[in-house]
Structures are given as structure tokens and as C-alpha cells.
Amino acid sequence: MLFDVFPVGDLLLRNRVVMAPMTRSRAGQPGDVPTALAAEYYAQRTGAGLIISEASPVSPSGHGYLWTPGIHSAEQVAGWKRVADAVHGSSGRIFLQLWHVGRISHTSLQPGGAAPLSSTAKRADAQAFGRDAQGNPAYLPCSEPHAATGAEIATVVNDFRRATENAIAAGCDGVEVHGANGYLLDQFLNGALNDRDDDYGGSLANRARLLLEVIDAVVAVAGPGRVGVRLSPHGSFNDMPADPEADAMTLYLAEQLGRRGLAYVHYVDPQFNGYADGAQLLRQARDKAGIPVIVCGDMDRSKAERYLQEELADLIAFGRPFIANPDLPVRLHMGAPLNAIDEATIYGGDAHGYTDYPALR
């Protein structure tokens, strides 16, 4: 099943293997621009039915880490065009992941040194990667955010819309909205964190409002068949508190996303996040959405095939194995051993640990 062709939105994928989005922190400076080296990296991995790019901030205020490529300037669009052209030159498909980190940031990364925005003014017990008082790159405690105003929320929606225009102009096959892992949109979804008393807080519908407004703005540009969204039910990454309404929100969003006919919804496996009833939740969400479901989280071939057979997912995303194995689908198909990851080269650096992992001969 894993190697069957499969339709996703407007595309027919060569297999059900998806390359998950992974931050590698190698954007060219100045300007956080994707480089020729990034184009080579992604082109090496086009054996995947679909590549989802590393997360790309939709605006200057959307950054939380140094050296991550954006999608909000003309130079960045040109850089991503080089990547998309390289992927298409190797018969691959790529969706660009759209990102706003919200409170997972530091004032050194924000325009004018401003406080990051979020659903709340609660500081995250997490780290950003910014610059210390001496201007040196450093891991730093996240700065205290401010609760976004109505005008700022409208700006965020427009930033995602414009970023989608940029991604399509760059030649990407579609976009994935990052609504997971404790970043901005997830900060609105989580009922234990979102303490607003306006139209963006309180009920399920209100807490989901920003995500769905973003989705609608993105779909208006790209069409539903070129749009996916990533969610992380029961995720705790980036200091996300346990949400007693996580199941209810997951199923509410599944219904809403299904109504919009998106290309797919991409879940970080709730079981990977430690939720014992994760399989049941995935099955319910997949049934309610009625659109293709991608699942990621510590996958190997055996686990991937089981998730497909048990109808927990339609496609399987692999993250870390793709770092060290540019030909991962071939290795999975053959049952060949995998290269080990050089942990020291995951974030930042040059070609070493990025484009120099060997493929099978």
C-alpha cells in the first residue's frame, strides 16, 4: 500500500510516502533566503510522493529562529522558485509550509524589538533561537508575548494570504498551513492556553476561528486542492498545556476542513504525543473529514503499512529518516538499512550533514 499511487487534491502522487516538514536552519543571509544548496537538498528527496518544505515564516514577525527561510520577500520567492524548479526537474511535488511562531520567539527576532504576539500574554517556557545582548546567535528564553488585537489578527490572516500568493508565484504545487506544535495557530486552538474573551476565545468555534479564517484566505488564492493543514492533537511541544477539549477540537476541525475540500489534513500522531486513545481519535477524525489524512510520528515501514491497513491514515510522513537518507522510499521498498543521522549537523551549517548523505548505488 505504501508504494501505491494516490490522489491528493489536484495531484496524483507516485506513492504514499511524504517527506515531513523539518527545520534545517540553512537559509542564506542576509534576508533568510533559500539557497542553491537547499534546492539540491530537496531535489535529492523527490522519491517521496510529496515533499512538504521546512516551515517558512509568512512575515518578519512570524520568525522565532535564526536562519529559517521566509516566504515574505521578493528574494525569498526567488529562492523558493529555485527549489521548486529543482524538485520539478526531478519529477517531484512540493508543498510549502506556511508558519507563524506566535509566542515562540524573542524580541531580538521581532521587527523593532517588539513583543511577539499570541492568543495570550502568557510567556512560553520554551526557547527561541535569536541573538543575545552582544548580538551573538544563542538559544534564549521566549519573550513575554502580548495578546493580539483584532487588527493584528486581520494582519496575520492577510500575511498567510500573501504568503500563499508568493508560494504559488514560486512554482510550488501547494501550501500547508502550520497549525501544530505550539505555534501561533495552535496557541489559539488550545483551550487551556487561549484565555481570550472575544470572538477568538472561549468556544470551540471561536478558538478555531483564526485557523479557519487563514484556511479560507489561503484557499481563495490557491484553491482547496492545493491546500493542506498540519495539526498536533494532544501535543505538548513548546509548553502547550493539556487541553481537556483536544478531542472535541480535533473532530470539529476535521468536519470544518472536510467541508472545505482541502487536499489533506496532516496529523502529528496523538499516540506519538503520548495519548493512549490516539488511534481511535485518528480514525474518527479521518471518517469525519472525508479527505486524505497524512500521519507522522516515529514511522518505519512496518508501522506505516499498519496505519494504512487499519485506516488510520491515507499517507505516511517520515521526518528524521529523510535527513540521512535522500533515497528513503527506495530503501523502505527494498528493506535496505538506513544511514545514521549526524545529530550535530541537523541545524545550521553547510553541505555536511545536509546534501552529502550517500544514496544506494
* 254-300 pLDDT, tens digit each: 999 999 999 999 999 999 999 999 999 999 999 999 999 999 999 99
CA distance to 22, 48, 158, 296, 307, per residue, from 266 (Å):
14, 16, 23, 8, 14
SS3 178: strand
Output the pTM of the full model: 0.98
Q: CA 319, 168, 293, 69 torsion: positive or negative?
A: positive
Residue 89: exposed, middle, or buried by beta-carbon count in 10 A (0-12, 13-18, 19+)? exposed
CB atoms within 10 A of CB 203: 12
pLDDT tens digits for range 90-139: 999 999 999 999 999 999 999 999 999 999 999 999 999 999 999 999 99
CA distance 285 to 291: 10
Residue 146 lies in a domain: yes
Q: Which one-letter amino acid corresponds to residue 308?
A: L
Percent of the chain with pLDDT over 70: 100
Asked if residue 30 has a cis previous peptide bond (ω within 30° of 0), the answer is yes
The answer to whether position 357 is within a domain reads no
Asked if the structure places residue 251 within a domain, the reply is yes
Report yes or no on 353 lying in a domain.
no
User: Environment class of residue 216 by beta-carbon count within 10 Å: exposed (0-12), middle (13-18) or buried (19+)?
Assistant: middle
pLDDT of residue 181: 98
SS3 167: helix
Catalytic (active site) residue 307: no
Mean pLDDT for 45-55 is 98
Query: Residue 25: which region, alpha, beta or left (left: phi > 0; alpha: psi -120 to 50)?
Result: left
Question: Can you give the length of the chain in residues?
Answer: 361
CB 109 within 8 A of CB 88: no
Judge contact between 48 and 17, C-beta under 8 A.
yes
Residue 11 has, within 13 A of its CA and on its CB side, a CA count of 26
What is the three-class DSSP state of 70? Answer: coil
Q: How does residue 361 score in pLDDT terms, banded at 50, 70 and 90? A: confident
φ and ψ of 234, to 5 deg: 65, 20
CB atoms within 10 A of CB 90: 12
Catalytic residue among 41, 42, 65, 183: 183
- CATH number of 298's domain: 3.20.20.70
The whole-angstrom separation of Cα 188 and Cα 179 is: 9
Flag whether 20 is in a domain.
yes
Print the domain residue range for 261: 6-345
Residue 108 lies in a domain: yes
Q: Which residue has the cell 527506495?
A: 330
pLDDT digit string, tens, across residues 140-170:
999 999 999 999 999 999 999 999 999 999 9
C-alpha–C-alpha distance, residues 49 and 311, integer Å: 19
Residue 358 belongs to a domain: no
Residue 87's pLDDT band (boundaries 50, 70, 90)?
A: very high
Q: What is the torsion angle, in degrees rounded to the nearest 10, for the CA atoms of residue 295, residue 300, residue 302 and residue 307?
A: -10
Nearest to 165 by CA among 33, 285, 44, 73: 73
Domain membership of residue 352 (yes or no) is no
Do residues 129 and 205 lie in contact, with contact meaning Cβ atoms separated by under 8 Å? no
Nearest to 56 by CA among 167, 142, 139, 148: 167
Average pLDDT over residues 162-181: 98
* E strand or H helix that includes residue 118: strand 117-118
270: cell is 496523538
Q: Any bridge partners for residue 177, and if so which?
A: 98, 229
The number of distinct structural domains making up the chain is 1
